[in-house]
Amino acid sequence: MDFIDPIIIRTEFNNETQWEELCEMVKTPNTEYGIEAYIEFLNDPRLNGLNSNQVFDKLVAEFIYDFDFYFVADKITFSEAGFPLLCVKIPDEHSPEEGSFRVIPNAIWAVESNLRICNMDFTEFSQNTDEAGIFKGF
């Protein structure tokens, strides 16, 4: 399977209604700027309960994926108010450090669009999170 857009990988399968609500939140264009996130969703029960490192191993083993970040809808996403998704940086030869932060669904467009075109880098988002490590926009 090839992905043409960054992905949200679901690793928590206890509540289908919450998953559907999260997907709708991500797909809804930002009302202030009229921008929407171009995101694909990986909803595979084989990924249930995996942590972000295990998800990465599955991602590179089974899929063609050309981005240096991905999002995870995990247990924390569905247990916290606002569904904060985990955004994970994939290290590469140009940027070998790892990193992650959380982002609320209505701010995911800013992360996705700016990281996709290299307008901003990962640390610009991770350094602009609140005290809980959640990016909510600028």
Is this structure's pTM higher than 0.75? yes
Domains in the chain, number: 1
Residue 96: pLDDT band (50, 70, 90) is low
The verdict on residue 1 lying in a domain is no
The verdict on residue 2 lying in a domain is no
Range of the domain at 99: 7-135
CA distance 25 to 59: 24
Q: What is the pLDDT of residues 39-87, one digit of tens each?
A: 999 999 999 999 988 888 887 777 777 888 999 999 999 999 999 999 9
